[in-house]
Amino acid sequence: MEVKNCKVQLQGIIYIDSIFLLNLVMDLYLLSLTARAAGKTVSYARVFAGSAVGALGYCAVLCLPGIPYIIKVIFGMIPVGGLMIKIACRARGWRELLRGMGYLFTFSFFLGGFIIFLKGKIRILTEYGDSAAALAGMGFAGFALLQSLLKAYRKRSRNHFCKVRLLGDGGAVAFTALIDTGNALVEPVSQKPVAILEAEGWNSLKMWMKPEKFKLIPYHSIGKDNGMLEGYEIDTMQVEGKDGEKQFDKVIVAVFRGKISGRGGYQMILPPELSA
Query: Range with the lowest mean pLDDT among 32-41, 199-208, 232-241?
Result: 32-41
pLDDT of 9 over the 70 cut: no
DSSP state of 169: T
Whether 34 contacts 88, CB under 8 Å: yes
Residue 4: band (very low, low, confident or very high) from pLDDT cuts 50, 70, 90 = very low
Report strand pairing: 244-256 vs 194-198.
parallel
Whether 260 contacts 268, CB under 8 Å: yes
Please tell me the distance from the alpha carbon of residue 183 to that of residue 194, in angstroms, as a whole number.
Answer: 8
CB atoms near residue 87 (< 10 Å): 20
The per-residue pLDDT for 96 is 86
Mean pLDDT on 16-34: 90
Residue 56 buriedness (CB in 10 A; 0-12 / 13-18 / 19+): middle
Residue 10: band (very low, low, confident or very high) from pLDDT cuts 50, 70, 90 = very low
Residue 157: band (very low, low, confident or very high) from pLDDT cuts 50, 70, 90 = low
The per-residue pLDDT for 221 is 61
Report the mean per-residue pLDDT for the chain.
84
Residue 2: band (very low, low, confident or very high) from pLDDT cuts 50, 70, 90 = very low
Regarding pTM above 0.95, the answer is no
Contacts with 72 (C-beta within 8 Å, 6 or more apart), sequence order: 61, 62, 64
Going from the N-terminus, what domains does the chain have, and what CATH number goes with each? Answer: 2-156 (no CATH), 161-274 (2.40.70)
Tens digits of per-residue pLDDT, 176-200? 998 887 777 889 999 899 999 999 9
DSSP state of 242: T
The per-residue pLDDT for 12 is 43
Distances from the Cα of 166 to the Cα of 100, 137, 257, angstroms: 23, 41, 19
Whether 146 contacts 26, CB under 8 Å: no
Query: Range with the lowest mean pLDDT among 83-87, 97-101, 204-208, 222-226?
Result: 222-226
DSSP state of 219: E
DSSP state of 187: -
Please tell me the distance from the alpha carbon of residue 170 to that of residue 167, in angstroms, as a whole number.
Answer: 8
Residue 3: band (very low, low, confident or very high) from pLDDT cuts 50, 70, 90 = very low
Tens digits of per-residue pLDDT, 33-92? 998 888 777 888 999 999 999 999 988 888 888 888 788 777 778 899 999 999 998 887
The per-residue pLDDT for 48 is 95
